[in-house]
Amino acid sequence: MVLSICRTVLWLALLLGVAGPAQADLLPHRVVYTLALGNSGTLTGGNGLMTFEIKDVCDGWAMDLKAELALAGEDGEIHRLGWSQVSWESKDGKRYRYFTRELSDTEETSRRRGEARRDSATAPANVVADLPDQSEFVLPAGTLFPVQHTLALIKGDAAGEAYVLANLFDGSIGNEAIEVGAALGPGSLDWTPSTKTFPDLKGVRSFPAALAFYMGNSAEGVPDSEQSMRLYSNGVVGSLTFGLGDIKVRAIMDELTPLKPEGC
């Protein structure tokens, strides 16, 4: 939701932006996911919870992601992993602020914070960070912030594109943009994420997307990490599968609450 833990944040905070008419179609919401583990030879069990909230706050989108995963090892000990990201992205694509944390059991293992500014939604961006260290760097022209990237996928599906390639920056991994390739599958109006029904998703188009993240550290053509998800055209992520090292985690939507836009 990307792997240091916070690479997961790339896939929830996921997920929304590019100025234009499609902004009105995004649904401000709070969603709760149950986390379940896939097969793992080193674990005997595990479960967790993840929440994601995106608010329409006048001229921007405010996002809040929190997750905790409890893992049971073969030795019987329970270990807890946690990660969070609070961010704000302007609707015109010119500004982006982020603050991320990672936890292992009760110890904080990572903290990142910074702000990006640029003259237009596609111009190079100047980033000033104060965590983990004081630094300044420049993102190349065309880099997408999280909200921008989500709308790029939604627009790609609407246009019938099979593949969307973009440079993405959310601040959770390092001081550079990451190349993300997204293979888009056929969309439909009748997909449901679980046995539950969600009235706000009735009649809303959704499509599968398989994402590959390239951070420049792997052999040519081999992604550093991969994720798959089901994305609705209103910005809701219906399901998500991601990796934490060799552990596969499935995020299954359990609750969805629309949120009213906040005034200016």
Please name every residue paired with 225 in a beta bridge, in sequence order, or none if there are none.
Answer: 213
Q: What is the pLDDT of residue 190?
A: 83
Q: What is the pLDDT of residue 38?
A: 72
Q: Which residue has the tokens 């599906």?
A: 157
Taking only Cα atoms into account, the Rg of the chain, rounded to an integer number of angstroms, comes to 18
Residue 103, CA distances (Å) to 115, 123, 184, 193, 243 in order:
22, 34, 33, 29, 17
Residue 62, CA distances (Å) to 55, 84, 218, 232, 238 in order:
5, 14, 33, 19, 20
SS3 assignment, position 31: strand
Q: What is the pLDDT of residue 46?
A: 77
Expressed in percent and rounded to 5, the helix, strand and coil fractions of the chain are 10, 50, 40
Structure tokens at 161: 């594109």
Residue pair 143/127 in contact (Cβ under 8 Å)? The answer is no
Q: Is the pTM of this model over 0.85?
A: yes
* Residue type at 137 in one-letter notation: F
Q: What is the pLDDT of residue 39?
A: 63
* DSSP labels, 40-72: -TTEEEEEEEEEEEEEEETTEEEEEEEEEEEEE
Q: Report the helix count and the strand count for the chain, using DSSP H and E.
A: 1, 14
Q: What is the pLDDT of residue 219?
A: 61
Could you read off the pLDDT tens digit of each residue along the chain, which spans 264 residues?
333 344 444 444 444 333 333 444 899 999 999 998 876 656 656 789 999 999 999 999 999 999 999 988 777 788 899 999 999 999 999 999 999 999 999 899 999 999 999 999 999 999 999 999 999 999 999 999 999 999 999 999 999 999 999 999 999 988 999 999 999 999 999 898 777 889 999 999 999 999 999 987 666 778 888 999 999 999 999 999 998 777 889 999 999 999 999 978
